[in-house]
Amino acid sequence: MRNVFVVAIVIVVFGGLLYAGDMMGMGMMHHSKKASIDDKRISLNFPPPMKQEQLANMRSHLEAVKTIVDFISKGKFDEASKVAHQKLGLAPDMQKMCGMVKNKGFASMGLSFHKSADKLSNVLKTKDTKKSLQALNQTLSFCVQCHATYRQ
């Protein structure tokens, strides 16, 4: 009788642990599975060597935006203009990189983005804060739009 009692306790405790573990595991599995199912963005199927380069390029884009905002806040429009053109504008290497992507929609969005940065560079030369922020917002719209549409 006593043995039966011990076995019952063991079953209840282990069962509880398994159940809790399962819940946690399920919870996590469910979450990541759901995230990949819910990710409706178009995959670009970048080859591995291109992945790192593209991400590094992206981080430098973000840094450029930060620098531009910093310069605008200090009234250093010429410096901001230079960064917009040099780091985000349609330079030959940027054009080449966007052109390497097979997806036409991505490539054309990339080109529009770089062109908008050159426009931003020109607007910054007017030293008009409001117009500059509007142009920067325009450029940032391309960042947002592309990220919402595509993934690596």
* Footprint on this chain of ligand HEC (rule: CB under 6 A): 55, 58-59, 61-62, 65, 106, 109-110, 113, 142-143, 146-147, 150-152
Nearer of residues 77 and 94 to ligand HEC, judged by Cβ: 94
Residue 130 beta carbon to ligand HEC: minimum distance, rounded to whole angstroms: 20
The amino acid occupying position 19 is: Y
The Cα–Cα gap between 152 and 143 comes to: 14
Nearer of residues 20 and 55 to ligand HEC, judged by Cβ: 55
Nearer of residues 77 and 142 to ligand HEC, judged by Cβ: 142
Nearer of residues 23 and 42 to ligand HEC, judged by Cβ: 42
The Cα–Cα gap between 94 and 57 comes to: 9
The Cα–Cα gap between 53 and 61 comes to: 12
Residue 19 beta carbon to ligand HEC: minimum distance, rounded to whole angstroms: 35
The Cα–Cα gap between 65 and 88 comes to: 9
* Cα angle 93, 98, 101; round to 5: 130
Tokens of 135: 């142009």
Residue 44 beta carbon to ligand HEC: minimum distance, rounded to whole angstroms: 6
